[in-house]
Amino acid sequence: MPHHNRQDGPEVLGSAVVVGASLAGLMSALTLSRIGLQVTMLERSARKVRTGAALPVSDGLLERLTGRRTHGRTAGIPSGGQAWADVHAALGSAVRDDPNISLRSPVRVTDVGQDDGSAWVVTEDGEQVQGDIVVGADGHASVVRRRVVPDAPDATFSGYLIWLGLVDEADIVSRPWHSDLAILYERDYCLNAYYLPGADGSRARGERRLGWGWYDSGRNDLLRSSGAVEGNIVQRTLRAPDVPDATFDELAKEAQEIWPDPWREAIVDCITRRDVIGTPIGEYMPSQLTAGRVCLVGDAAHLPSPMTGSGFSASAEDALALADALADTVDRPDGFAAGLTRYGAVRLDAARSLVRSGQSFNRSFAPRGAAQ
């Protein structure tokens, strides 16, 4: 492959195709660009929204991913609890500012292949997009995982879903909660509720947002009838139009009965506005993360219960480890495959431990599991 010099970074030493532009994909693209790879990202969705989800962000994350001090409109991601959408927007901005990364959407990948000299994906339109490696960052229903682990390609339904919502604190009249986080158990439910910075980044009282995640194992019939879960496999998230008004009415009534303010008010507000999504929870325990020139990161690689609170940080560690493993090998014969093998060896045990850490919650919260 001919080498080209980028305008503001290292010499281009190779190329990568990253399937998926959610958090793990964006972070992997940034780290691979940092070590000198030209990155093509393919994302099937034109728009990413994850209402109410929160992430713990470590200090200096964007700087570690890019290897550069941030400034201007990519001036870093504040540490602490952040809204999923805000983190995604910041990472997306950094990707758009990187001349070695191109992002294409909507593009649906249907197959993955490789030979001794390259790897490629095939799109729904029959296009073949080729690189030195393919990185599967395409989430719980990963297409790339089918190539890496053909004998165990699917994440399995854990037997419950999480309802997610987000509301501005200015719209809530109840007194603030006494801490930034609440984990509450009532009846057969669990509620994780938290304060997040306002849309402008403010953490001042009255200017924040209230996010909440309501774990619910009692509406699996809805998941199956809507097609969100088929058999034992999670297919998609429930959006508001997928949820019957009767279900929203039931949730609002139960919220009024069991949850304390301000979370009760926040939940009812979101339900009234129909600004709620329901995400079926899957689980994937990895046996391997790589196969030749193809590898997995993020939820495609390891899918734990969100109760671990560690899925995002694990995805960041995947991206950083991937770049570290490739950095010293890309200029050697068969260096890409060797680097990916090294990545798999470094991350597999941690990935398995992460999934294992959430299994006790899965088993206790939904003891019937994914039984139909």
DSSP characters over 261-305: TTHHHHHHHHHHTT--EEEEEEEB--S-SEETTEEE-GGGT-B--
Given a cut of 50, is residue 1 above it in pLDDT?
no
Given a cut of 70, is residue 325 above it in pLDDT?
yes
pLDDT of residue 69: 73
In Å, how far are 22, 282, 324, 325 from 87, measured between CA atoms? 10, 22, 23, 25
Given a cut of 50, is residue 3 above it in pLDDT?
no
* Contact predicate 27/50, CB 8 Å: no
Q: What is the CATH number of domain 156-282?
A: 3.30.9.60
- The strands making up 14-19's β-sheet, listed across from edge to edge, are 101-104, 37-42, 14-19, 133-136, 294-296, 290-291
Taking the model in full, what pTM does it have? 0.91
Residue intervals of the chain classified under CATH 3.30.9.60 are 156-282
Given a cut of 50, is residue 194 above it in pLDDT?
yes
Mean pLDDT of the chain: 91
Q: Could you give the CA distance from residue 155 to residue 300 in angstroms, rounded to a whole number?
A: 9
Structure tokens at 227: 């097609």
Q: How confident is the model at residue 139 (pLDDT cuts 50, 70, 90)?
A: very high
State the CB neighbour count (10 A cutoff) for residue 11. 10
pLDDT of residue 176: 97
Structure tokens at 261: 């303010």
How does DSSP classify residue 58? -
* Contact predicate 105/44, CB 8 Å: yes
Q: What average pLDDT does the segment 60-64 reach?
A: 93
Structure tokens at 275: 């600004």
Q: How confident is the model at residue 366 (pLDDT cuts 50, 70, 90)?
A: confident
State the CB neighbour count (10 A cutoff) for residue 5. 10
Q: Are strands 109-114 and 54-57 parallel, antiparallel or unpaired?
A: unpaired
Given a cut of 70, is residue 2 above it in pLDDT?
no
Angle (deg, nearest 10), helices 23-34 and 311-327: 20
Q: What average pLDDT does the segment 246-272 reach?
A: 98
State the CB neighbour count (10 A cutoff) for residue 69. 10
In Å, how far are 64, 252, 255, 275 from 195, measured between CA atoms? 26, 21, 18, 17
pLDDT of residue 9: 52
Given a cut of 90, is residue 144 above it in pLDDT?
yes
Q: What average pLDDT does the segment 115-135 reach?
A: 96
Q: How confident is the model at residue 369 (pLDDT cuts 50, 70, 90)?
A: low
Structure tokens at 251: 């949730």
Residue intervals of the chain classified under CATH 3.50.50.60 are 4-154+284-365
Most confident of 3-17, 73-87, 246-260: 246-260
**Fold that domain 4-154+284-365 belongs to in CATH:** FAD/NAD(P)-binding domain (3.50.50)
Maximum alpha-carbon separation in the chain: 66
State the CB neighbour count (10 A cutoff) for residue 116. 8
Q: How confident is the model at residue 329 (pLDDT cuts 50, 70, 90)?
A: confident
Q: How confident is the model at residue 367 (pLDDT cuts 50, 70, 90)?
A: confident
pLDDT of residue 315: 97
User: Exposed, middle or buried by CB within 10 Å (0-12, 13-18, 19+), for 314?
Assistant: buried
Q: How confident is the model at residue 241 (pLDDT cuts 50, 70, 90)?
A: very high
